[in-house]
Amino acid sequence: MNAPEKAQSAIGASVRRKEDYRFLTGGGKYTDDVTLPGQSYAYFVRSPHAHAKILKINKSAALKAPGVIAVYTGDDTAADKMGGLPCGWLIKDVKGEPMKEPPHPPLAQGKVRHVGDQVAVIIAETYNQAKDAAELLEVDYDVLPAVVDAVEALKPGAPQVHDGAPNNRCYLWSLGDKAATDAAFAKAHHVTKIDITNNRLIPNAIEPRAALAHYNRADESYTLYVANQNPHVERLLMTAFVLGLPEHKVRVIAPDVGGGFGSKIFLYAEDVIVTWASKKVNRPVKWTADRSEAFLSDAHGRDHHTHAELAMDKDGKFLGLRVKTIANLGAYLSTFGSSVPTYLYGTLLAGQYTTPAIYVEVDAAFTNTTPVDAYRGAGRPEATYVLERIVSQAAREMNLDQAEIRRRNFITAFPYQTPVALMYDIGDYKSCLDKAQKLADVAGFPARRAEAEKRGKKRGLGYSTYIEACGLAPSNIAGALGARAGLFEAGEIRVHPTGSVTVFTGSHSHGQGHETTFAQVVAARLGIPVESVDVVHGDTGRMPFGMGTYGSRSIAVGGAAIMKALDKIEAKGKKIAAHLLEAAESDIEFKDGKFTVAGTDKSVPFGGVAFSAYVPHNYPLDKLEPGLNETAFYDPGNFTYPAGTHIAEVEVDPETGVVQIVNFSAVDDFGNIINPMIVEGQVHGGLAQGIGQAMLENCVYDQETGQLLTGSYMDYAMPRAADLPSFKVDTHVTPCTHNPLGVKGCGEAGAIGSPPAVVNAVIDALAPLGVKHLEMPLTPERVWRAIQGKPTKVA
């Protein structure tokens, strides 16, 4: 982090970010910063009830309110035959039947299913007028009983969220060989069992969602500015599935976006409604969420209840793993809601271990809560939490060292086919563990524990050796598993006549620093200064296509597309250089920004070739087009598999239950690293969210009324600076074998690896007091109750 600032563009240099200047000076342009002439404002009237029939809506008073332009309800969207919000991944259940896909109307059709469900939209001259008019909209509700807990929702007699999903079940899905797993358990020396909850989280990007739509009657086109991570996907889903618009008439721009963490991947009702309404009122329509709306309407994350069993032989070698999870999908299927607890979860249950037989079942339920979808890690933190908790418990039950049980079971030969569908290409789990143990000074821990004991404090050490599958994804494999979209990425390299370069990428940056990292990749390859490369993203009108940013895919897939386009630039450049240098194309080498005739000092710089391409006076026009502009699409051959070891050291005050994380060490293998400073920043941010989940954050609904009790920053505990330790982070590199940069992705690792490390550490600290189990978040009350031997399940 404190490496001297290098003016170089080399891969592996901590180049300071190109985007920082505008963000440091107030020059960023986020969606709410955009103002269009004649702009009107939308305010959404949302359900105050978790579950209710809408008996009647009376618009008349609202329509008469000052400044009101229009009031629309579900009747208006139905009259325009607006489709429902689609789900991007079809899951087939254990019998091969498709999941239940009840309609997800952008404005409620006769029924509301969660607090915050959209009932109507008011469009007015000003935001305050729209909000004032919302008070005058009369909605008669017939309140129905609600169910918010997925376990309760699946029980007989529970309130039914959708008529088309009996027993609130979306699917019962399985993965793995059940018979082989049962056989493994039959020969087990010991079976460790665990029941754990993965607490529900609210993503809380600091920029609230926003959308501003403009319909241009002159050419029947739409422009939508939206806080979104994948504008092309947003456009595809909105035009093809909801509004039935021709895609070429819709431009989606995701300008500067203030954090996403998954929550801005999805197509939301508000985006669709403002786009549709902009034509109806023939005015630009702007909507910006306030924080209360963000809590109620941004897709939530996690919310699993799991029973897991691990079978071992007498030496602690894993023989089989059996997992049964109940997942809460919320009231509707969000864009990728169905895939998170299935293919992004079950497939990760092998972890770093050679467990030969694994069987997982996931029962996914609808409830009267906000839809649940991908949040930083998306399924992989849930899998890692189950696995790393049960492995640590197994070590305690088998009286084995926490590191030793992991070492005994590590995969060491690659490629490795797991019993849950993934083929790991490469990794070195032992080296990560060794390095993390040194970083955490594990050797000195007994002395630190003894010292703490003298002060009446309990110290513990917790491990998590995690794996993730990133770089989503081979389109054909994802398609076979139910994905309804491709998962490639696109990149375009536009070389300008004077040799500077604009890069257009389908990846989207909302804090990740792509404008710098991608520029480094291009600058290094072309041998030009990083200042000569600008990266453009987030606009369907400017780049060829894009699947966007999620699942730590940008450098692994988006970066690979750019490398492929650079291959084409280099190939064409060689042809041009061969002509200029009067040599055979096969004799031309490209290195350090120069095309050289091999074995000679005859060369032409990259800029000279670029100029020639655009001023083709001396140019092989009979054989070659002028210009130097190339586009490439890259579809990955496999997932990438970042992995690592996280070690938490905690100190617990047994009198109060207060936990202090005194040390957190992470050694991650992200493959090759382009910009170490940015990678470290991604790890820090992920750790903050993972530690937030473990220590502080918890989304709570009232079980009876379905009201969100943690609907503000006064109630939902976000990690602050004083809540977090200083992190010790390092990397170990095994380059990815199947993409041109050898990269794996680093965005989610911190959030995936850290929660079990923290919880395992606290259990380790309190094991001498008889504590065997804890649930997240580790509030002082919960920890204190566990120490007292009292039930820990509190709200």
Partner 1 sequence: MSREPNEDSRRFLVKLTLNGKERTGYCEPRTTLCDFLRHHLGATGTHVGCEHGVCGACTVNVDGKPVRSCLMFAFQADGLQVNTVEGVAGEDGRLSALQQAFRRHHALQCGFCTPGMLISCQDLLDRNPRPSREEVLEVVSGHLCRCTGYVGIVNAVLDAAARQRELK
Binding site for partner 1 (CB under 8 A): 1-2, 5, 16-17, 19-30, 32-33, 35, 41, 66-67, 125-129, 204-208, 256-259, 261, 286, 288-291, 510-513, 677-678, 680-681, 684-685, 687-689, 712-714, 718, 720-724, 726-727, 750
Partner residues linked to 716 by β-bridges: none
The least CB distance from residue 490 to partner 1, in Å, is 23
Instruction: CB nearer to partner 1: give 48 or 681.
Output: 681
Q: At what angle do helices 559-581 and 514-526 cross, to 10 degrees?
A: 30
Neighbours of 791 (CB within 10 A): 9
For residue 232, which amino acid is it?
H
Instruction: CB nearer to partner 1: give 58 or 126.
Output: 126
The least CB distance from residue 713 to partner 1, in Å, is 4
The least CB distance from residue 67 to partner 1, in Å, is 7
Neighbours of 314 (CB within 10 A): 9
| Closest by Cα among 471, 495, 474, 494 to 485 | 474
The Cα–Cα gap between 24 and 38 comes to 30
Instruction: CB nearer to partner 1: give 289 or 364.
Output: 289
The least CB distance from residue 384 to partner 1, in Å, is 19
The Cα–Cα gap between 417 and 427 comes to 13
649: region left, alpha or beta (phi > 0 left; psi from -120 to 50 alpha): beta
Instruction: CB nearer to partner 1: give 627 or 676.
Output: 676
The least CB distance from residue 539 to partner 1, in Å, is 18
Instruction: CB nearer to partner 1: give 66 or 98.
Output: 66
The least CB distance from residue 719 to partner 1, in Å, is 8
Instruction: CB nearer to partner 1: give 224 or 391.
Output: 224
| Closest by Cα among 219, 273, 282, 222 to 250 | 222
The least CB distance from residue 686 to partner 1, in Å, is 8
The least CB distance from residue 779 to partner 1, in Å, is 18
Instruction: CB nearer to partner 1: give 228 or 288.
Output: 288
Instruction: CB nearer to partner 1: give 127 or 414.
Output: 127
- Kindly state the helix (H) or strand (E) to which residue 751 belongs, with its residue range: helix 749-766
Q: Are 560 and 634 in contact (CB under 8 A)?
A: yes
Asked if the bond preceding 473 is cis, omega within 30° of 0, the reply is yes
Query: What's the CA dihedral at 434, 440, 444, 449 to 10 degrees?
Result: -130
Q: Are 234 and 83 in contact (CB under 8 A)?
A: no
Instruction: CB nearer to partner 1: give 150 or 289.
Output: 289
Instruction: CB nearer to partner 1: give 126 or 412.
Output: 126
Q: Are 229 and 549 in contact (CB under 8 A)?
A: yes
| Closest by Cα among 28, 40, 435 to 213 | 40
The least CB distance from residue 254 to partner 1, in Å, is 12
The least CB distance from residue 732 to partner 1, in Å, is 21
- Contact partners, residue 262, CB within 8 Å, separation at least 6: 203, 229, 299, 301, 373, 374, 375, 376, 378, 550
Q: At what angle do helices 606-614 and 559-581 cross, to 10 degrees?
A: 80
At which residue do the structure tokens 């290409």 appear? 425
The least CB distance from residue 655 to partner 1, in Å, is 23
The Cα–Cα gap between 32 and 128 comes to 15
Instruction: CB nearer to partner 1: give 142 or 715.
Output: 715
Instruction: CB nearer to partner 1: give 19 or 428.
Output: 19
Q: Please tell me what DSSP assigns to residue 554.
A: I
The least CB distance from residue 292 to partner 1, in Å, is 8
Both tokens of residue 482?
A: 């139910």
| Closest by Cα among 333, 254, 275, 332 to 91 | 333
